[in-house]
Chain A
C-alpha cells in the first residue's frame, strides 16, 4: 500500500508529496495527518507540494480539509512550493484554497509556522501576567 511519510520536526509535522496521488491516497494522508496532529501534539503542519505537476479540485479540497481540521486541533497549516503553472491553473479552475497559508519554499514556510507559534506564546505569557 502506498503511503506518504509524515516527519516530525520539533512541534511541527512535515509532509512532502512526491507522487501523483490517486484520490484514496489523498484521503489516507488527510486522515493520518489529522491523527498525528493529536498524537504528536503538533502545533503546525507544513505541506510541500513542489513536486506536484497539478492540483485539481480533489487535491485542493484535501488541502483545505487538512487546514480546517488542523485549525480545530490548534495547529497551523502552511502549503509551500506551488509551481507557478499550478497557481495559474488553480485560479482558472476557481479554487482559492480558503483558509490555507502559503509560502514560496520550505524555509519561508517554517518561518511562518515559527512566527505564529512564538506570537501565540507571547500572547499566552501576556495573559498569565
Chain B
C-alpha cells in the first residue's frame, strides 16, 4: 500500500494544509496520539522552513510499510539558498529568521528518523519518518 501526496508549499496557509494532511494520514496508519502530535509538530516546523527560508517548495507525504510496521514519511524540498553550515542550523537557538531557532533541531528530536541534505545555491531536502510501534 503505497500512497503519495504532493503539497505545494508557497504560503502560510499551505503550512496549515501540510499539518492537516499529515495528521489524517498519521491517524490512518495508527500512530499513537503522542507520536501523531510529535510528527505533525515536526512537519509544521519543516514546512514553515521551506516557505520562509527555502522560498517555497514541495512537501511529499508517503505511506510506507516494513512489515509488520507501518510508517509515514515526509520529504520537504526547496530550491532556495541552501544551508551553509548544517551543524550550526541544527543547534537550538540558532536562527536567521524571527523564530526561536528550534525548528530544525526540534524536528530532528521529534521524528524517529531525520535526514537533511543541503547545498548552497542548490536547495535543501529534509526527510522525516515515523513508524508505528509494531
Residue positions of A touching B, CB distance < 8 A: 20-24, 53-58, 60-61, 83, 85-86, 88-89, 92-95
Contact = CB atoms under 8 A, between A and B. Distances in A.
B80 interface: no
A83 B41 CA distance: 14
Contacts, number: 70
Interface in B27-76: 33-34, 36-38, 40-41, 44-45, 48
12 contacts: A21-B16, A22-B11, A56-B45, A57-B102, A60-B100, A85-B34, A85-B37, A88-B38, A92-B38, A93-B102, A94-B106, A95-B102
Interface residues of B, number: 27
Contact of A57 (B34, B40, B106, B109): B106
Given A23-B15, A23-B48, A89-B41, A57 B99 contact: yes
A93 B13 CA distance: 22
A85 B38 CA distance: 8
Contact of A92 (B13, B19, B48, B110): B110
Given A57-B99, A83-B37, A85-B37, 15 more contacts: A20-B16, A20-B19, A22-B13, A22-B15, A23-B48, A53-B23, A54-B41, A56-B48, A57-B100, A58-B44, A85-B36, A86-B37, A92-B38, A92-B106, A94-B106
A95 B100 CA distance: 9
